[in-house]
Chains A and B, each alone.
Chain A
Amino acid sequence: MPVVIVDGQEIEIGADERLNCIEAARRAGKEIPHYCWHPGLSVVASCRMCLIETGQRDAATGKISMVPKLVPGCQTPVKDGTVIVTESPLVKESRARVEEALLINHPIDCPICDKAGECLLQDYHFEHGQAERRADLHPFTSRKRDVGPTVTLFVDRCIMCTRCVRFTREISGTAELMVTSRGAKEEIDVFPGHPLDNKLSGNVVDLCPVGALGDKDFLYQQRVWFLKREANVCGGCSAGCSISTEHNQDAVYRLKPRENPHVNKWWICDDGRYGWHHLHDSSRILEASRKVAGPAHRVHGSITPAVETIEWADVVTKLRDDLKAAGRLAVAVSPMLTVEEAWMLCAVARSIDPEAWLAPGFVPVTGTDESFPGGFTIRAEKCPNRRGVEEVLALYGAGGRSWNDLVAHVAAGKAAAAWITGGYPGPWIDTATAEAFAGLVQLVVQDLFDSPLMRLASWRLPATGFAERAGTWVNVAHHAQSFSQAIRPPAGVWPEGRLFWNMLGRRGLYDPVSVRQQIAGSSAALAALAGEMPATGVDLRIHQLA
């Protein structure tokens, strides 16, 4: 195995690994500061923050010969015997000088900058810079430029790392951003009439190491040090991108991509990035209720039947009683549910009616899959867990069915009661389709928002969104990822998992991990879910191939 010497510490790297000095040093626990380098983008070696000293140890004699000048760590590959020095006086001086140079034309407006607190310029200056300003003092401007529908450019804060420019050229392939002018007058800009408007545009904000690119959706909403981060998975489509939900006091403020080499690398699409606003929509259904006998009354001009609100603790028993009394049960297991929730829902259904007819819920599809030159794909299937739900249904002998089969099953009068789980962020069912469910004795609809189907329901149950639940989703490539709850649902709403857990009569708090272990033990297809789940998830097919 090749050995690299980082500040005197020998570390082994893989024989086939192609690492640069930054990556190799990181293995040894040494951070080489850098701005322009990003593992997902081409190397330009222009910020010069990662300058280090390197050398080569002769394999035969053990003698080390050093390169007589500084080299950029990002551009220098390591091999057996490479010597990396990250903390010599020369290296430290060079870092201090780069920091000083970057601040000459930087407005240093941290108090009004959104990036403050997670800014590499701040962090590196604190760690590697010098306290004294030697350059002349001049009044700064704070010029803003609207570069597209999602991003604002703060021109003077830019340090010209060109990560954003490279992203639009190499990953999104749209090439809207460019560099104008020359020398210290350089600026990032868009071409006239061609704003930064692509489905991956928000990533340039993540890439920006300083506060130059601001996300309009997040701008001035929250100081980043108030935000708490939870590792989540995006529910926007079947790609299942790893995300980090950043929230404070049960409110989501933004979603960021979470690095996952198996799924989304470093990126997420704008649909996913801004696809959390429905969580805080005021029109969400927040109370469990059921229709009762009595006079209908008029609300906002429409006739509304009389309903009674049910306490969550009572839902557990009353719902079971109502469904049991109705007769034959059909259940739609929504692809928005987690594997654990789907499994428990099936168990609940079968405990109410041992012959309950189970089928997957509605699978929303929009357009076709959209791929980008950088390898990123936005899926047309706008739900996160169709594969997981299908595996669970197969366990219950209900494989191979679809939502349309369920609609036909109900329309044919083969069921007296139906339990439709939803959780869709937008409208999904039309009145005509909903009519198929009109004649049922009991119709349980569990969803985020009102819908034609919800209006027919005898039982209306609130659902929860992606950040409010915990469990496991299986993406389009059969890659399973587990995540925990980021925020609490509003107004004491029970997440689906908690309701099912209680309806199964289990003790204590809902524990998705124990459910996952139970599923893994009972299904060969889902056996890979056993044990501790890595942060980047597991591929369900690996164990089947082996």
Chain B
Amino acid sequence: MQPFKPVLLEAVGVPDGYTLASYKSRGGYAPLEKVLAEKQPVDVVEMVKSSGLRGRGGAGFSTGLKWTFLPKDHPGPIYLCINADESEPGTFNNRILMEDDPHQVIEGIILSAYATRASTAYIYLRYEYPRSWHRLQAAIDEAYAAGYLGKNIRGSAFSLDIYLHRGAAAYICGEETGLIESLEGKRAWPRIKPPFPAIEGLFRKPTVVNNIETMACVAQIARRGIEWFKSIGVPADPANPRDPGSYGPKLYCLSGHVEKPGCYEAPLGITARELIDRFGGGVWKGRKAKAVIPGGISMGLMTESELDTPLDFAGPGKVGCLGLGTAAVVVIDDQTSIVDFLHNSCRFFAHESCGQCTPCREGTSWSLRMLERIKAGKGRLRDLDILLEIGNTMGMMPGSTICGLADGAAWPIKNAIKKFRGEFEDYIKRTNPSGWMVTDPVPALQIVGAH
């Protein structure tokens, strides 16, 4: 791989890098002034569209295309929501951006609001990020004082207010319509679509929901240009007309059993093995990896033999994972039980399922019950079939739920059992030598609360 100089993370390690002065010294806000003076909103949409920027929040949908779904000539208001409810286990790239370079994010927000003709932007911040909250609010105040926010930004006709909203700690608030509901002061139950947020979102007005890292990318595209952005990453696969390519730098959150966990910036398309070895200093204690989560727990598992998969938007899908997700790479070493991993995963999703759709509400809790029992030495081989059936039928893709959380809950189950079935069977037969073959319903264990 070519040597790569961090762009999104350039403020990391810079003393007072989160201040306005520091950001401007790195060339920040100049592109914004240029855009406001010279470009129309449609030009910004076109710029982002042709850069090939895909949303960094998890789904990887084209950002520019998403903006074009807004109704034309809408009398307004149009809202821009920034999703900073970063709750996917293993993910912390938004936190780094908000803490170390909040102005980069704010510049991106102003540019995006200009492009979408939004005059109000809401940042929905995860409750557990107090430092991000302080740094972002300080940066917003600085930006207001310097005339980058508020009425008639830098003398232009464009006005924008940013509100920083702190969530109350629920995974489902990261789902875009759940976020919108929560922002409206309601229970964060994802909405049914259509209507999509671009038509009817926050307060029933056209709304765009973008991720923090996407905003940072927009700021960098405005500063460095489309060509720069497209020179990084993986071009579209000519054999697949539906692949828009994976361009630009990406923040990978490397954690788990590696020597040097951390948030690393690399071009999209770096392989998991390269990421672990070059950035993470290899699997810790000289061990081997058993499995790697490619992009947050909901994306499933890659085995050690699949580690050469490029971590771009298309890569993890080719080895049976859900996708790149948030690019939170978690390494699981060969001393770790996959049964434990799956139990932990199920516990998380049973706790975080919003409870709206029957298949997810009951499926996540049922799978946790089974994992609890398996771990208590009362597993049955039949449980694996049932778990697999839950995994295969729960989610937006089979159509059984409203939002994608259920797919995310299903994928670890599916991947763990398909890729590590032998380990599960061994575990069950070893720990339940007299009952592993039972197929009748068995008494349930008292479940231990997730808290």
A contacts, CB < 8 Å to B: 43-49, 51, 69-72, 75, 93-94, 97-98, 101-102, 104-105, 133-138, 159-160, 178-179, 181-186
In the complex, what residues of A have CB within 8 A of residue B354's CB? Answer: 182-183
Contact across chains for B353 and A101 when beta carbons are under 8 A apart? no
Complex Cα–Cα for A182 and B354 (A) = 5
The verdict on A69 contacting B362 (CB below 8 Å), with A136-B373, A136-B443, A184-B355 known, is: no
Given A135-B441, A138-B444, do A98 and B359 touch, yes or no (CB 8 Å)? yes
Q: Does B351 contact A (CB under 8 A)?
A: yes
B350 lies within 8 A of A71 (CB): no
Are A94 and B400 closer than 8 Å at their CB atoms?
yes
Q: Which residue of chain B lies nearest to A46 when distances are taken between CB atoms in the complex? A: B356
What B residues does A182 contact at CB under 8 A?
A: 170, 351-355
B400 touches A45 (CB 8 A): no
- How many Å from the CB of B170 to the closest CB on chain A? 7
A157 to chain B, nearest CB (A): 15
- Does the CB pair A186–B192 fall under 8 Å? no
Q: Is B37 an interface residue (CB 8 A)?
A: no
Question: How far apart are the CA atoms of A116 and B56 in the complex, in Å?
Answer: 51
| Chain B residues packing against A (C-beta within 8 Å) | 170, 187, 189, 192, 350-359, 361-366, 369-370, 373, 386, 393, 397-402, 441-445
- Alpha-carbon gap, A136 to B187, bound state (A): 30
**22 interchain pairs, CB-CB under 8 A:** A44-B356, A46-B402, A48-B359, A48-B400, A69-B397, A69-B398, A70-B399, A70-B400, A93-B393, A97-B400, A98-B358, A101-B358, A101-B359, A105-B365, A136-B443, A136-B444, A182-B352, A182-B354, A183-B353, A184-B362, A184-B364, A185-B355
> Bound complex: CA of A145 vs CA of B135, how far in Å?
46
Closest Cβ neighbor of B190 among chain A residues: A46
A97 and B401 CA atoms in complex are apart in Å by: 13
| A51 engages B399 (CB within 8 Å) | yes
* CB-CB under 8 A for A136 and B369, given A48-B400, A182-B170, A184-B353: yes
Known: A134-B441, A184-B353, A184-B361. A43 touches B192 (CB 8 A): yes
CA distance A51 to B395 in the complex (A): 13
CA distance A184 to B356 in the complex (A): 9
Chain A residues with CB under 8 A of B356: 44, 46, 160
New A-B pairs, 17, CB < 8 Å, besides A98-B359, A182-B352 = A43-B192, A44-B189, A46-B358, A47-B357, A51-B399, A69-B398, A75-B192, A94-B393, A97-B359, A135-B444, A136-B369, A136-B443, A160-B356, A160-B358, A182-B353, A183-B361, A184-B350
Choose from A46, A51, A101 the contact partner of B366 (Cβ within 8 Å).
Answer: A101
Closest to B386 in A: A134
A138 to B358, CA, bound (A): 19
User: Which residue, B187, B353, B362, B397, has most C-beta atoms of chain A within 10 A?
Assistant: B362
Partner of B358, one of A48, A93, A134, A181: A48
> Contact: B370 with A136, CB < 8 Å?
yes
| Residue from A72, A134, A178, A181 with most neighbouring chain B CB atoms (10 Å) | A134
**Bound state CA distance, A178 and B400, in angstroms?**
24
Indicate if the CB atoms of B192 and A137 lie closer than 8 Å. Answer: no
Query: A47 — which chain B residues lie within 8 A by C-beta?
Result: 357-358
- Asked if A159 and B400 sit within 8 Å, CB to CB, the answer is no
Q: Which B residues touch A104, using CB under 8 A?
A: 362, 365-366
Q: Out of B351, B361, B363, B401, name the residue touching A160 (CB < 8 Å).
A: B361
Q: Give the distance to chain B from A156, nearest Cβ to Cβ, in Å.
A: 13
Q: How far, in whole Å, are A239 and B351 apart by their CA atoms in the complex? A: 48
Q: Tell me the complex Cα distance, A236–B163, Å.
A: 53
B357 touches A46 (CB 8 A): yes
What 4 pairs across the A-B complex have the smallest Cβ distances?
Answer: A136-B444, A70-B399, A101-B362, A184-B365
Q: How far is the CB of B402 from chain A (nearest CB, A)?
A: 6
The closest CB in chain B to the CB of A165 belongs to B187
Q: How far is the CA of A179 from the CA of B445 in the complex (A)?
A: 26
The residue from B365, B370, B442, B443 contacting A183, defined by CB atoms under 8 A apart: B365
B358 touches A69 (CB 8 A): no
Q: Which residues of B contact A94 (CB under 8 A)?
A: 393, 400
Q: Which residues does chain A contribute within 8 Å of B393, judged by CB atoms?
A: 93-94, 97
Q: Most A CB atoms within 10 A — which of B187, B373, B400?
A: B400
In the complex the two chains form, what is the Cα distance from A105 to B359 in whole Å?
13
Complex contact A137–B442 (CB within 8 A): yes
How many Å lie between the Cα of A101 and that of B442 in the bound state?
16
Contact: B441 with A136, CB < 8 Å? yes
State how many angstroms separate the Cβ of A186 from the closest Cβ of chain B: 4
- On chain B, the residues within 8 Å of A137 by CB distance are 441-444
Identity of the chain A residue whose Cβ is nearest the Cβ of B193 in the assembled complex: A75
Residues of A within 8 A of B444 (CB): 135-138
Q: Is the CB of B365 within 8 A of A70?
A: no
Nearest Cβ on chain B to A299's Cβ, whole angstroms: 63
Q: Which residue in B359, B361, B399, B443 is a CB contact (below 8 Å) of A69?
A: B399
Contact of A159 among B358, B359, B363 (CB under 8 A): B358
Query: What's the nearest-Cβ distance from chain B to residue A154, in Å?
Result: 18
**Distance to closest chain B CB from A105 (angstroms):** 7
Closest CB in chain B relative to A25 CB, distance in Å: 17
Q: Which residues of A contact B355 (CB under 8 A)?
A: 160, 179, 181-186
Name the A residues within 8 Å of B401 (CB-CB).
Answer: 48
Q: State the CA gap A75–B369 with chains docked (Å).
A: 32
Quick one: closest B residue to A75, CB to CB? B192
Pair A186/B398 contact, Cβ less than 8 Å: no
Shortest CB distance A191–B (Å): 13
| In the complex, chain A residues whose CB is within 8 Å of the CB of B359 | 48, 97-98, 101
> Smallest Cβ distance from B347 to chain A, in angstroms?
11
A48 to B397, CA, bound (A): 14
Q: Which residues of B contact A75 (CB under 8 A)?
A: 192
Q: A136-B442, A136-B444 are in contact. Are A102 and B400 (CB under 8 A)?
A: no
- State A138–B189 Cα separation when bound (angstroms): 29
Question: In angstroms, how far is the closest chain B Cβ from the Cβ of A367?
Answer: 34
Residues of A within 8 A of B363 (CB): 101
In angstroms, Cα B398 to Cα A93, docked, is 12
What residue in chain A is nearest B365 (Cβ atoms)?
A: A184
Cα A49 to Cα B401 in complex, Å, equals 11
User: Across the interface, which residues of A come within 8 angstroms of B399, CB to CB?
Assistant: 51, 69-71
In the assembled complex, the CB of B193 is this many whole angstroms from the nearest CB of chain A, namely 9
B336 CB to closest chain A CB, in angstroms? 26
Question: B187's closest neighbor in chain A, by CB?
Answer: A179
CA distance A136 to B370 in the complex (A): 8
Q: How many whole Å from B390's CB to the nearest CB in chain A?
A: 9
Write the nearest CB–CB distance from A429 to chain B, whole angstroms.
Answer: 52
Q: How far is the CA of A495 from the CA of B347 in the complex (A)?
A: 66
Q: Are A45 and B402 in contact (CB under 8 A)?
A: yes
Which B-chain residue is minimally distant from A42 (CB atoms)? B192
Alpha-carbon separation in the docked complex, A515 to B370 (Å): 69
**Minimum CB–CB distance for B178 against chain A, Å:** 12
Q: Complex Cα distance A51/B357, Å?
A: 12
The docked-state distance in angstroms from the alpha carbon of A133 to that of B441 is 7
The residues of B that contact A183 with a CB separation of less than 8 Å are 350-355, 361, 364-365
A44 to B397, CA, bound (A): 18
Q: Which of A70, A71, A101 has the most CB of B within 10 A?
A: A101
Give B383 Cβ to nearest chain A Cβ, in Å: 9
Bound Cα distance A45, B355 (Å)? 13
